[in-house]
Structure 1
Amino acid sequence: MIIPFEQHCLICKQSSSHLICGYCKKDLVLFELANYDFNLMLNPKVKKGLAKVDFSNVVALSDYQWPLSKLVTGLKFSAYIPNAKALATLFNNHCLRDISTLPQLILPIPLHKNRYFKRKFNQSIELAKQINKLSHIPLNTSSLYRNKATQAQTKLSAAKRRQNLKHAFIVNPKSNLMQYQHIALFDDVITTGTTMNYAYNTLKAAYPHLKIDIWCICLTLAP
């Protein structure tokens, strides 16, 4: 006898045919991307929060708040892959379906090898894998490396974040990015944008012709 698998909503824990049930999905507060031509840098609050970055195109699902913040931390610290599937599905359906020109490639932000060996997990890669499955945009995890074992950014000031990340990334000399014109850099959460900005500038220095969009699940916006 085969016992059917009973799936539960990741938020309310009630029985559901989807990882996020219809009721919880309706309660989510997501960015109205169409109001900003699918570029949140046209949103004054986002622009103010990311005032010191060099990139100009940002796509994100939501502000970093419950319940999506809980799904992100559950993925990051407990390696709970269903959270990646749920978040990627939301991102694909809400953020990507109506964008007229999608990137040719997704590059997730890498971890330094020491942190990866300790954690055995990179949440940004796991999310990007799920987005790749849904959107069919190719995924590349070998072109950008974390060259420097940096401190965790969470408790550092803006100035110390910048110093912490100086020379943190390198482009793989065997990278084949020259064949692309448009890519997306992806991370799970963007706070000040410092990490993403250093990765962006490292890629632009190596490939000035590239159009680079910035993607993330959540933005941590100032109140």
Structure 2
Amino acid sequence: MLIPFEQHCLICKQSSTNLICHYCKEDLALFELTNFDFNLMLYPKVKKGLTKVDFSHLVALGDYQWPLSKLLTGLKFSAYIPNAKALANLFVEHCIKEQTNLPQLILPIPLHKNRYLQRKYNQSIELAKQINKQTNIPITTSIMYRSKATQAQTNLSAAKRRQNLKNAFQIATKPDFFQYQHVALFDDVLTTGTTMNYAYHALKTAYPHLRIDIWCICITLAHR
């Protein structure tokens, strides 16, 4: 006799038919994106914390706080893929489902090849893959690459982050890429916006015609 598979909520660990149970999902503090036309750069508290960025369109699920932070760290440091699926489910439902003008392509922020060889894993790619499965928006990892092995950003000041990431991203020229008019740069967490801003500029310089949206799971800004 087959024993039925028992799934547990990733947050409360109680038996659940979903990766995040109904009760935990109801308790999540997510951004009210409909109040800002699905663009957090129109949210004054977010805009105030991102004064040194040039992108104008940002979508995120919520603040980097428990339990979203716990799911992200479990994905990043333990490669626990169910967390990617659960976060992607939330992102699609909360950030994408009601939008009408969606990007044609998702570009996850790349790791430098040395860091990728060491870690053998890029959590932003895993999250983007799960979003792709639910939306059919294609992803690519062949357009942008990290040419500079930078320090980890976590404990750096905003000024040092900018210095650390200067000229870190390069764009591979691909003629067929010009078919795209609208893309999304995707990362797991946005802090000062420095990484995204440098990636945005690299892409915009190579392909000035592009509309580039910024997508991330969480934001954690020092001045909000």
Q: Structure 1 length normalisation: TM-score?
A: 0.98
Shift of 1:176: 3.2
Is the 1:143–1:176 contact (alpha carbons within 8 Å) kept by the matching residues of 2? Answer: no
Query: For residue 17 of structure 1, what is the aligned residue in structure 2?
Result: 17
- 1:55-204 to structure 2, matched below 5 A, reads 55-174=55-174, 176-204=176-204
Is the 1:7–1:19 contact (alpha carbons within 8 Å) kept by the matching residues of 2? Answer: yes
Q: 1:95-152 deviations in whole A, cap 9, x for unaligned?
A: 0011110000000000001000111100000000000001111111111001110000
Amino acid at match of 2:97: R
2: CA distance between counterparts of 1:84 and 1:35? 26
Structure 1: stretches of 5+ with no match in the other structure: none
RMSD: 0.9
**Matched position secondary structure for 2:11:** coil
Is the 1:191–1:221 contact (alpha carbons within 8 Å) kept by the matching residues of 2? Answer: yes
Shift of 1:173: 2.5
- 1:28-43 to structure 2, matched below 5 A, reads 28-43=28-43
Structure 2: stretches of 5+ with no match in the other structure: none
**Matched position secondary structure for 2:94:** helix
| Superposed structure 1 runs of 4+ greater than 4 Å apart | none
2: CA distance between counterparts of 1:204 and 1:221? 24
Higher mean C-alpha deviation, range 157-166 or range 199-208: 157-166
2: CA distance between counterparts of 1:56 and 1:158? 19
2: CA distance between counterparts of 1:131 and 1:3? 31
Between the aligned residues of both structures, percent identity stands at: 77
Residues 1:216 and 2:212 are matched in the alignment: no
Shift of 1:2: 1.9
Q: Would you say how many aligned residue pairs link Structure 1 and Structure 2? A: 223
Is the 1:105–1:137 contact (alpha carbons within 8 Å) kept by the matching residues of 2? Answer: yes
Shift of 1:221: 2.6
Is the 1:143–1:175 contact (alpha carbons within 8 Å) kept by the matching residues of 2? Answer: no
Is the 1:142–1:175 contact (alpha carbons within 8 Å) kept by the matching residues of 2? Answer: no
Amino acid at match of 1:133: K
Is the 1:11–1:24 contact (alpha carbons within 8 Å) kept by the matching residues of 2? Answer: yes
Is the 1:106–1:184 contact (alpha carbons within 8 Å) kept by the matching residues of 2? Answer: yes
